Structure 1
């Protein structure tokens, strides 16, 4: 059985698992994605895959927590393998995630901040050219996470995932100065404390570099 078929088999088996079983299989899928070459990875990260995840959520076969875990794993390896996947754009899952982000953000009471962060990360990991509306919601939300300075493993993982999502953004046109100043603060803090992995540090730089590429007025932000 090829690696791609192993991945597809595990995906199909999620239908018959409880939540704990799904999470176990999702971790197995994560291991498989790690050893895939770029071509194999591209063959399985299809619109069909994202539509299936969306359908499983809709039919209550998969919890949102499990779906988010799987999407984050896919997004992580998508970035590491240097892929530019647009299949998510056309999927029903993309529309569902955007609707959930807007709905959760509008809540004035009982807002689930963790869910909002998770959804924003999943959305940005696959949307390099996100709309201004989505950026205006996701950026402030994820910056709160990325600016955390507690020195423990859990916080570090949270910061790194937020920065990984930031690194996928090609250009944001909403209150750029504020956002970029805060990204600069994160980079400076890492220089002094060495609290991030190379991948997350690189992601923070990528956001700054992308802004400078599209708008030279941001050239001074890295001084």
Structure 2
């Protein structure tokens, strides 16, 4: 599995996205022991470095981590390695920056995705992030559209909110 993550560096954005979707299928079948051995601080730091070096987009990173976080929450698994990683720092800073933007400049989908990743993958999140993520996730969960994509987004936001209860 670790080799598959390492290979992500060599692909361009669209090919990388396809590989991440393949990885997400593997993540679906992982158990707690496998999550602990794969989702390590080294992996989170490596992914952060890949973003920094523009070898991986933030969108592709979110695609992978949001799915992993969803699986972790659904399987009631706790991983603590992301909290001490540089990736966690990046996400928390991005949440604060995106939140400070004027409403017409703010990317609500990005903010929601970042909040979901932080809540799903962290043992703890900062009070500042909670004060941003709680309303953001409530807003995402309350969307009334009936499309399949919106229902999945609502489910993710509600699941993230349920996980947040452990941190407040």
Q: Spell out, residue by residue over 1:79-108, the C-alpha distance to the aligned partner (whole angstroms, 9 max, x if none).
A: 123211110010000001000110111112
In structure 1, C-alpha distance between the alignment counterparts of 2:43 and 2:126, rounded to whole Å: 23
Is 1:156 aligned with 2:151? yes
In structure 2, C-alpha distance between the alignment counterparts of 1:48 and 1:140, rounded to whole Å: 31
Is 1:131 aligned with 2:126? yes
* Contact in 2 for aligned 1:85/1:126 (Cα 8 Å): yes
Given candidates 99, 103, 122, the residue that maps to 1:105 is 99
Is 1:12 aligned with 2:6? yes
Specify the alignment match of 1:141 in structure 2.
136
In structure 1, C-alpha distance between the alignment counterparts of 2:26 and 2:149, rounded to whole Å: 24
Structure 1 unaligned segments of length 5 or more: list them. Answer: 1-6, 173-223
Q: Spell out, residue by residue over 1:168-222, the C-alpha distance to the aligned partner (whole angstroms, 9 max, x if none).
A: 11143xxxxxxxxxxxxxxxxxxxxxxxxxxxxxxxxxxxxxxxxxxxxxxxxxx
* Contact in 2 for aligned 1:128/1:168 (Cα 8 Å): no
Q: Spell out, residue by residue over 1:42-89, the C-alpha distance to the aligned partner (whole angstroms, 9 max, x if none).
A: 110100111111011000000111000011111012112321111001
TM-score by length of 1: 0.71
Is 1:26 aligned with 2:13? no
Structure 2 unaligned segments of length 5 or more: list them. Answer: none
Displacement over 3 Å in runs of 4+:
none
Given candidates 77, 81, 88, the residue that maps to 1:83 is 77
Specify the alignment match of 1:72 in structure 2.
66
Q: CA RMSD in A?
A: 1.3
SS in 1 for 2:163: coil
* Contact in 1 for aligned 2:83/2:123 (Cα 8 Å): no
Specify the alignment match of 2:50 in structure 1.
56
* Contact in 1 for aligned 2:28/2:71 (Cα 8 Å): yes
1:130 shift after superposition = 2.2
* Contact in 2 for aligned 1:127/1:168 (Cα 8 Å): no
TM-score by length of 2: 0.93
Structure with bigger gyration radius: 1
**With CA pairs under 8 Å and 6+ residues apart, which has the higher RCO, 1 or 2?**
2
